[in-house]
Chains A and B, each alone.
Chain A
Amino acid sequence: MNLDKTVVSASVVCKTYQIGNINVEALKDVNLEVEKGEFMIISGPSGSGKTTLLNIIGGIDKPTSGKIIVFGHNLSSEDEDFLSNFRCNNVGFVFQSYNLVSTLTVAENVAFPMEWARKPQDYIENRVEELLRIVNLERRAEHFPFQLSGGEQQRVAFARALANDPPLLLVDEPTGNLDAKTSLKIVQMLQKLKDDGKTIIVATHDKRIIELADQKMYLEDGRLVSLNE
C-alpha cells in the first residue's frame, strides 16, 4: 500500500445492524483501496450495503469490526468531534435524497460548510457564486429547497459537497431519482470533477457513470468484489 497515494483503505470491514433480536449483516469482510484521483463506482442491488459502505468511508458510520483508514486516519477509533472536523474538511457528500437544509436558501446551503471551516467572508461569497455557476443555478441562489425541482436540489447538493474543495467526494445514487436529461447533467458534472483530479466514489447503477470509472466494484449481500478483473 502506497501511503502517499492511498486515500481510502478498508480491511476486513464488517457492519452488523441489530433489529430487534435479529442481526442483519450489511457488510461482510470488505476490503478496499482507493488511490488519489481515482474514480471508483460501487454497484449492486438495492439493500446490498452500498450506502452503508459510503457512510463508513465518510465517517458517518463506524464498522462493527475491521479497519477503515481515510487520509491516514483510522476512522473507526476516532471520536465524534474529530470526525465532524474530518468530514467538514476532507469529505464531500452527495446523498441519495439530496438532503438540503430546508431552512437555508440555496446560497446558504452551499455556504455553510465553508462558514464552518472558518473561511473568510469574501472567499465564501465568491466561492458560492462560482459553485452555483458551475451547477448552473446562479438565479436560484435565494430560493429555498422546497422551491426547487429534484434535479436542481441534486445540483445544489453537489455544489455544497464541493464547497470546501474536499479531496474525497462520496456520491450516493446521484441519478437514481432523476429523469434522463437531468441525469446527463450530473454525469457531465462527475466527468468534470474526475478531470479535475478529485478522488470520487460513487454508488450507482447508471451505465454512463459506470463508464467513467477507473475501478468498478460490485456489492452483493454485503460482500464486495472487483469487476475489473
Chain B
Amino acid sequence: MSETSFPINDLLRRKFQTSLIIISLTLCVAATVYLLLFGDNIGLEISLMVEGKLTAGFSSIFSSFIIFIGLLIFIAGAVVISFMVFVMMSQRVRDIGLMKAVGCPNDLIFGYFMTELLIVTSISCFLGVIFGILADYASIGLFDFLGFQISQKPANFWLILLVFVLFFALSLIFGAKPILDATKVEPSKAISPIYHFGLSKESGFKVTSKSGFTVKIALRGLFRRKSATIKIILCLSTVFTLVTVAIAGGIIADQTTKNWVEKAIGRNIVLIAHQDMGSQYRLLLSKSYEISESSQFNYTDKKYLMPANLFDNLSSTSEIIGMEARLVLQEHVKELPGYLFDPETAGTTEVGDHREGESLIVGVEPEKVLSEWFVDGEFLTENRTCEAVIGDSLALTMFSMPLNQSIRLLDRNFDVTGVCLDPINNGNVTYVPLKTLQNATGILKPNIVMVRVDPANRTEILDQIRTNVRAVNSEFEIFELDETLDKNLSFLGDIWFIIMFLPLFSLIAASLCLIGYVMLAIAEQHQEFGVLRAVGIRPKTVVKIISEQSFIILLSSCAIGIPIGIIITLLILVPEPVITGYTILEIVGWLLTALVVMFGSSLYPAIKFARKPILEIMNKP
C-alpha cells in the first residue's frame, strides 16, 4: 500500500461521505465566487457609479446588503469547511487508533490523512470556482431575460484566485487541526467501543414516557458529542444569520424601498401635460430601471405650458381627489458652502467644494404635493420661499453635508432643508417652491399637472378628463403613472429577489453540514440503535431520536441566528423600515420553509439507516 493509494482508496470506498464533503466545500467556494462576481457586475458597482442604475440612496442600501451578505457568506463558508473537515476526521479517529495500535508511526498516519484532505480540498475549490462563474453568468442572463440591462463583465481572475487560495488555505488549516488531534488520541481510547465523553453520573432514576425516553437519548447523544454539537450550532447559526439578513432583510428592504418609491411617484396619479412633456417626464421616472439616451429637451418651450382654462376645467372636476401643478426645468446648479460651528475653537469650519452641475428642477406647491417622499430633514413649507429639497444622488455627488449647505440656481440661493429618495432622473433632482421658481424664471404657468383620481370609477373618470383635456388643447394628453411606478417597483423587487437567493448555496452547504452531523451521530450510536431495535423499538423510533437531535440543533441555531440577523437588518441595514403584518408573515414563511427543508433533508440518512436490517445496524454504520 503506497502513501497515495491508501488515501485514494479510502476516499473512493467512502463514496457518500466523500461526496458530501466535496459538495459542501464546493458550494461554499461557489457561493463566495458567485457573490463577488455578481456584486462586481451589479451590486458594488452601483454604489461606486455616478451614472448607474438606482439612485444613490437605494444603491447604498443595496450595496450594504451585498457587502454584509458577502462577509457572512465568507464566515459561513469558513465555519462550514471547519465543521465538515472535523466530521471527516471524527469518523476516522477509531481507524487512526487502530493504525497506531498496530505500530503505524504518527507522521505516516498524518501524511495519509493530509493527502486525503489535499485531494478533497483541491477538487472542491476547483469545482467551486467553476460553479461560481457559471452561476454568475446564469443570473446575469436571467436579468437580461427579464428585460433589465446589466452588463456582463469578464470574470475577475484575481478575485477568483483570491477566493481559491483563501478557501484552500482555510481548509488545510481547519483540517490539519482535527487530524493532529486524532493522531494524538491514545490507541486504547481510540479503539475502545465503550469510551465516551460528556456523560456524568445521574442524580436519580426517574421513569419517563416514550417521548421522554427518545428525547433523553437524543439530548444525551448531543451532549456526548459536545464538540461536534457546538460546532454545528455555530455553523448553522452563522448560516441562519445570513439567511435572515438575506430573507428578512431582503423582504423588509424590498417593501421599504418600494414604499419610498410608491410614495415618491404616487399611486393612482395621472399626469396631464403636453404629449412631449409627458413622455419626457415618464422617461425621467424610468431612468432607474432603463438605460435611455438622454437628449436635449427644452422644458421652457411655451407650447408645454398649461393653458389657464385647462387648469380651471380640471379644478372643477369633482372626481379629482387632489391636484398639483409643477414646473419642471433643467438648470445649472452650484453647491454653496455650509458653516459648522466648532465648539472647541468657538470658530466655524467651511464644508463644501463649490461643485457645479446640471439638475432637474421641479417647482412644487408645498401645501398641495401629492407625493410623500422619504426625506432626511424637512420638506418644503409654504411660507419659506428660499428653501430646497434635493434628491439623494445629487446630495451624494455634489454636496459634502447637504443639510448644512445651500444650492444656487437661477441666481438665487436656496437652503437645503432635506434630502429625498426619488427615482426621478435617478435622484438628480431639486425641489423648490413653485412661486419662487416662477418668479426666478418668469415662467408663470406650470408645465405639468398631477391629479389623483378616485380609484372606484377610474376608467370613466379618466375618459372624462381625457375628453376635457383634448377639448381645450388637442396636443395635451393624460399619462397614467401607475405603469411606470409598477416597473420601478418590479425592478426593485427583482433586485431584492436576487439578494434573497444569494445565500442559497450557503443554505444548501449548511444542510449538507447537518446531514454530515446526522451521519456522525449515526456512526457513533449505530450499535445502540441496533440494541434498541433488537429489544423491540421500531425503526420509526430510531428516526424519531435522530430527528429530535436535528430539530434541537436547528432550533438552537435559529434561536441564535435569527435574532442576530433581525438586529443587523433593522439597526444597520435598513433605516426606518416598513414592516406590516404581511411582511412578518412572509418572513416567517420563508424562514420556516428554509427550516423545514433543512430538517427534512437531514432525515435522509436517518431514514436510510433505520431501514437497514438490525444486524447490519449493530455491526456497521
Q: Whole-angstrom distance between the alpha carbons of A125 and B613 in the complex?
A: 32
Closest Cβ neighbor of B220 among chain A residues? A103
Whether A101 contacts B532 by the Cβ 8 Å rule is yes
**What residues of chain A lie closer than 8 Å to B525, measured between beta carbons?**
102-103
- Which listed residue (B204, B217, B530) contacts A142, Cβ 8 A? B204
Chain A residues near B363 (CB-CB < 8 A): none
Nearest-neighbour CB distance to chain B for A128, whole angstroms, equals 7
Q: Which of A95-135 contact B (CB under 8 A)?
A: 95, 97, 99-105, 107-108, 111-113, 115-118, 121, 124-125, 128
Which residues from chain A contact B618 at a C-beta distance below 8 Å? 99
Q: Please tell me if the beta carbons of B536 and A115 are within 8 angstroms of each other in the complex.
A: no
Cα A58 to Cα B224 in complex, Å, equals 31
Minimal Cβ-Cβ distance residue in B for A58: B534
- Report the Cα distance A61→B534, complex, angstroms: 10
Report how far A113 CA is from B538 CA in the complex, Å: 12
In the complex where A101-B528, A103-B217, A103-B220 touch, is A144 in contact with B199 (Cβ < 8 A)?
yes
A80 interfacial by beta-carbon distance below 8 Å: yes
- Which residues of chain A are within 8 angstroms of B216 by Cβ–Cβ distance? 103-104, 108
Bound-state CA distance A62–B309 (Å) is 98
Stretch at the interface among B205-213, B315-323, B346-354: B205-213
Interface string of B518-560 (1 = CB under 8 A from A): 0000000101101111111111000000000000000000000
Identify which of B207, B208, B536, B538 gathers the most chain A CB atoms within 10 Å of its CB: B536
Interface size on A, residues (CB 8 A): 43
Q: In the assembly, what is the distance between CA of A108 and CA of B220, in Å?
A: 13
Say yes or no for B608: interface residue by CB 8 A criterion: no
Give min CB distance, A49 to chain B, whole Å.
13
Which residues 134-150 in A have Cβ within 8 Å of B in the complex?
Answer: 141-147
A100 to chain B minimum Cβ distance, whole angstroms, is 7
Cβ distance B153 to chain A, nearest Cβ, rounded Å: 54
Q: Which residues of A contact B157 (CB under 8 A)?
A: none
| Consensus secondary structure, chain B interface | helix
Task: Decide: B207 and A125 in contact? CB cutoff 8 A.
Answer: yes
A39 beta carbon closer than 8 Å to chain B = no
For chain B, the count of residues having a C-beta within 8 Å of the partner chain is: 37
CA distance A60 to B202 in the complex (A): 32
In the bound complex, residues from chain B placing their C-beta under 8 Å from that of A88 are 535-537
Cross-chain contact A80 with B538 (CB below 8 angstroms): yes
Measured CB to CB, the closest approach of chain B to A229, in angstroms, equals: 32
The one of A87, A107, A142 in contact with B535, judged by C-beta atoms closer than 8 angstroms, is A87
Decide if A84 touches B221 in the complex (CB within 8 Å): no
B213 near A115 with CB under 8 A, answer: yes
Q: Is A182 an interface residue (CB 8 A)?
A: no
Given contacts A103-B199, A115-B208, A142-B204, is CB(A60)–CB(B221) below 8 Å? no
Which one of A101, A118, A125 contacts B217 once the chains associate, using CB atoms below 8 Å?
A: A101
Task: For residue B138, give the distance in angstroms from its CB to the closest CB of chain A.
Answer: 44
A216 interfacial contact with B, CB 8 Å: no
**Chain B residues within an 8 Å CB radius of A86:** 536
Given A61-B613, A143-B201; A89-B217 close (CB under 8 Å):
no
The CA-CA distance from A67 to B367 in the complex, in Å, is: 95
- For the complex, what is the distance from the CA of A88 to the CA of B535, rounded to whole Å? 6
Q: Is A85 an interface residue (CB 8 A)?
A: yes
Q: Chain A residue with minimal CB distance to B204? A: A142
Judged by a CB distance under 8 angstroms, whether A65 is at the interface is: no
Question: CB < 8 Å: which of B199, B534, B613 contacts A93?
Answer: B534
CB pair B201 A142 closer than 8 Å = yes
B383 interface residue (CB < 8 Å to A): no
User: Does B5 belong to the interface (CB within 8 Å)?
Assistant: no
Asked if B130 is at the interface of the complex by the 8 Å CB criterion, the answer is no
**A103→B218 CA distance, assembly (Å):** 9
* A155 proximal to B (CB < 8 A): no
B531 touches A100 (CB 8 A): yes
A109 to chain B minimum Cβ distance, whole angstroms, is 9
- Closest Cβ of chain B to A57, distance in Å, is 13
Q: Are B535 and A113 in contact (CB under 8 A)?
A: yes
Q: Which of B203, B535, B538 contacts A112 (CB 8 A)?
A: B535
How near does chain B come to A140, taking the closest CB pair, in angstroms?
10
Q: Which residues of A contact B535 (CB under 8 A)?
A: 87-88, 93, 112-113, 116, 160
Besides A84-B538, A99-B534, A108-B216, 7 more A-B contacts (Cβ < 8 Å) are A60-B534, A87-B535, A112-B535, A142-B203, A143-B201, A144-B199, A146-B194
Ordered by A's residue number, 19 sampled pairs between the chains whose C-beta atoms are within 8 Å are: A61-B613, A61-B615, A80-B538, A84-B533, A86-B536, A95-B534, A99-B534, A100-B531, A101-B532, A104-B216, A105-B205, A107-B205, A111-B205, A115-B207, A115-B210, A124-B207, A144-B201, A144-B202, A160-B535
Q: Which B residues are closer than 8 A to A by beta carbons?
A: 193-196, 199, 201-205, 207-210, 213, 216-217, 220-221, 224, 525, 527-528, 530-539, 613-615, 618
